[in-house]
Amino acid sequence: MRFRVRSECKYGNASKPSRWVETSLLPKGIPGTAAVDLSCVWHNLEYMACTWHPGENASSDTNYTLFYWFDGLKSHKKCSNYSMHQGISGCIFNLSFPKVTSTYPPISILIRDDSEEIRPVCANKNPTTLVKPATPRQVTLSKIDDGIRMEWTESDTFPENCLVYEVEYHNGYLDTAHVIKVENNNLSIPGIDSNSKYVFKVRAKPKPECYSSELYSDWSEEKSIGEKTDSTFYFVLIITIPLIVAVATIILLVYLKRLKIIILPPVPDPREMLKRMFGEQNEDSQGSAKDESMNAYDRLFKEEEIHSLILTETPEYSSSAKEN
């Protein structure tokens, strides 16, 4: 907290006040333990959601508590709906003002811990800069004579004529999107072939005349109208055609292989032919050699058969002759 004080003469209208004297009161707690990156969003003028990161020097068991106050409340309020997601703390509390209110008071937000070691942090927020409309609902599409008509439900928490809309649509076959800004909750788009498929979605944004927020709502669920060729047929066709081609190719290759054998018989290997030729010649030469040896033996045998054998006998001599 910072304080300034100065003095001036009570009854002297022409006197000038003194200069300001300033002093400050530092909060308790260890530096670096206060919550950081405080961010708040006022959703559909119904509730406010605030998030923050723990201080870098804060312990992991630090439990931050959020308090809020604005002009018109008798006392400060304590937020009770806390959450934690990926190291980010958050809290949601109801926040609404009378609809007839043209100006909104600033909101004071205090985040602290019960421990005196955790330094508190305080921030003032202008709620008109934090407004985020709800997502448009009940989106309907219909065919008209010269195009397509789109309608959706407006939020009942906003004053009348305080929202503008963005409509995005694209052809079902293309990814290029067209964006149209409208101020009402309906749109007619002429010159579109109602027989072709188109995809639509819409989101809302506060008007600058009512709120200073630059936040858009989330996109509505996509709605489509028109006909589009069933992709299942193309999927089956893409699978069937290569399969048929593969089977036909295999059958054709087998058939051509047999036909090739009939028309163009395989050429014999010259090496096998030479082996056979020389093998037969060797066998013939060996056989002829055997025949010649047998014939020679037969001739020899025959010659021996026709040779004459002459036997001679010696005459007997007398005994005297033997003695001599």
Asked if residue 70 is part of any domain, the answer here is yes
Tokens for 270, please give them: 């010259």
Distance CA 260, CA 160 (A): 86
**Total tally of structural domains belonging to the chain:** 3
Is a pLDDT exceeding 60 seen at residue 118?
Answer: yes
Q: Tell me, yes or no, whether 141 and 24 share the same domain.
A: no
Distance CA 190, CA 144 (A): 9
Q: Tell me, yes or no, whether 19 and 105 share the same domain.
A: yes
Q: Tell me, yes or no, whether 115 and 169 share the same domain.
A: no
The answer to whether 203 and 216 have CB atoms below 8 angstroms apart is yes
Choose the final residue of a domain: 247, 265, 283. Answer: 265
Asked if residue 285 is part of any domain, the answer here is no
Q: Which residue has the higher pLDDT, 73 or 293?
A: 73
Q: pLDDT at position 16, please?
A: 85
3-state SS assignment for residue 321: helix
Q: Tell me, yes or no, whether 176 and 249 share the same domain.
A: no
Q: Tell me, yes or no, whether 109 and 202 share the same domain.
A: no
Q: Which domain holds residue 235?
A: 230-265
Asked if residue 64 is part of any domain, the answer here is yes
Contact residues for 182 (Cβ-Cβ < 8 A; gap 6+): 164, 165, 167
Distance CA 294, CA 305 (A): 16
Q: Tell me, yes or no, whether 118 and 139 share the same domain.
A: no
Q: pLDDT at position 190, please?
A: 83
Asked if residue 321 is part of any domain, the answer here is no
Query: Would the pTM count as exceeding 0.75?
Result: no
Asked if residue 289 is part of any domain, the answer here is no
The answer to whether 96 and 87 have CB atoms below 8 angstroms apart is no
Is a pLDDT exceeding 70 seen at residue 101?
Answer: no
pLDDT in tens, 241-281: 888 888 888 887 777 766 666 666 666 666 766 677 666 55
Asked if residue 294 is part of any domain, the answer here is no
Distance CA 104, CA 125 (A): 11
Q: Tell me, yes or no, whether 20 and 115 share the same domain.
A: yes
